[in-house]
Structures are given as structure tokens and as C-alpha cells.
């Protein structure tokens, strides 16, 4: 698990990133909602069950990716040490 300092750094970077991207991708994916989900996972220590309960399955019934759930799961992977912060958000 990450220290509070590491979490604070990640949240700060995610909030800054959110200011620099459009609310929706060119495909209509909710970028801002996805980043908000990442922040919530980091702040509150949500687990995979919480994520699925809050935002739904990773893929819809027609195999369409659920953008928000995927981003939330990435934040969980970062919390668990499976990916680097640079995989979650650009590190300047």
C-alpha cells in the first residue's frame, strides 16, 4: 500500500491533469468522471467490489469497455503497487 504522502502526490497530479483535458473524449468517454473515480479510490481505499458496485462491470454486456470502471481499477492497481504512478497519470 501507498503512504499518505504518495496518495496526496497522486491526487494532486490527477486534479491537475483533469484541468488540462476535455470533459469527454472524442469517443464520448467521460474523462472527468473517470479521474474523479480514480481520486475516490485513492482517497477512500476502495477495493474491486466497491468499484464494481459504484461504477459497474469493466465491460458492458456487448463488450464495450466501461471507461470509468477501468480507470478506477487502474487506481486500485497503483495503490496495490502493480503499476507506477506514471502509468496512472503523467509525471512532469
pLDDT in tens, 36-79: 999 999 999 999 999 999 999 888 888 878 999 999 999 999 99
Task: Kindly give, in sequence order, each residue whose CB lies less than 8 Å from that of residue 20, ignoring residues fewer than 6 positions away.
Answer: none
Is residue 6 predicted with pLDDT exceeding 60? yes
Return the bridge partners of 24, or none: 30
C-alpha cell belonging to residue 3: 503512504
Total count of residues recorded for the chain = 92
User: For 78-91, what is each residue's pLDDT tens digit?
Assistant: 999 999 999 999 76
pLDDT at 1: 82
Amino acid at each position: 500500500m501507498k503512504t499518505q504522502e504518495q496518495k496526496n502526490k497522486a491526487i494532486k497530479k490527477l486534479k491537475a491533469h483533469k484541468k488540462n483535458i476535455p470533459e469527454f473524449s472524442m469517443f464520448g468517454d467521460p474523462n472527468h468522471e473517470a479521474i474523479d473515480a480514480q481520486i475516490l479510490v485513492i482517497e477512500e481505499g476502495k477495493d474491486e467490489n466497491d468499484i464494481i458496485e459504484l461504477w459497474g462491470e469493466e465491460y458492458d454486456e456487448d463488450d464495450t469497455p466501461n471507461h470509468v470502471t477501468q480507470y478506477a481499477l487502474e487506481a486500485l492497481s497503483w495503490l496495490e503497487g502493480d503499476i507506477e504512478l506514471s502509468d496512472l497519470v503523467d509525471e512532469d
